[in-house]
Amino acid sequence: MGRVDGTPFRAHPFNSTLETGIRALVVLEAFYPRRCDLLEMTWLDHLVVHTGDLDGQDGQGAPKSLHPDLPNRAGELAVRRQLVEKSLRLMQEVHLVDVFETEDGIAYGASEDAPAYLDLLQSLYSLALKERAQWMARRFAGMATTEIRTVMESRIGRWTADFRYEDNDGARP
């Protein structure tokens, strides 16, 4: 398939803004009514496809990861944040994600239109993604951000959990 001008179309479908936006929407719907900030969404986007990283945490078995367990995948978090932010904006533009200004900053939540859209996603991958998001919601929805951060540090490393704080003059929360 090519473009109108005859040049080949070379979009990479994996980890595109659209795919990441759909994952974010699945996570936000599973966590509803909780609202999540960008840091949480970045962590949760990683975990929803790498649930195996949480296996055995607190004696709970996690579903098998949807994506392969590649070496150095924890480093994905450092580059994932910008993509997650862009994908959340895309989902906001199509009225599937709502943005909220809170005392702590910007938070995201699934819009009232999100469930109807997500019901249309029935591929095996989509159903598996929804199952993992629901499992994560049962596991994390009642936790504060600091508690989720502790889990991230213990499972995928302190450096990747800390990447967000580099723009705060090194200050830690």
**CA 108 to CA 101: how far, in whole Å?**
9
Residue 111 confidence (pLDDT):
98
pLDDT number for residue 69 = 75
Residue spans of the chain under pLDDT 50:
1, 59, 158-159, 161-173
Q: Which residues of 16-33 are buried (b: 16+ CB within 10 A; e: fewer)?
A: ebeebbbbbbbbbbbbbe
Q: Are 158 and 166 in contact (CB under 8 A)?
A: no
- pLDDT at position 171 is 42
User: For residue 134, which amino acid is it?
Assistant: Q
Cis peptide before 8 (omega within 30 of 0): no
Largest interatomic CA distance in the chain: 57
Provide the pLDDT for residue 145. Answer: 83
pLDDT score at 1: 47
At 5 the pLDDT is: 62
Q: Which of helix, strand or coil describes residue 135?
A: helix
Residue 62 neighbours by CB distance under 10 Å = 19
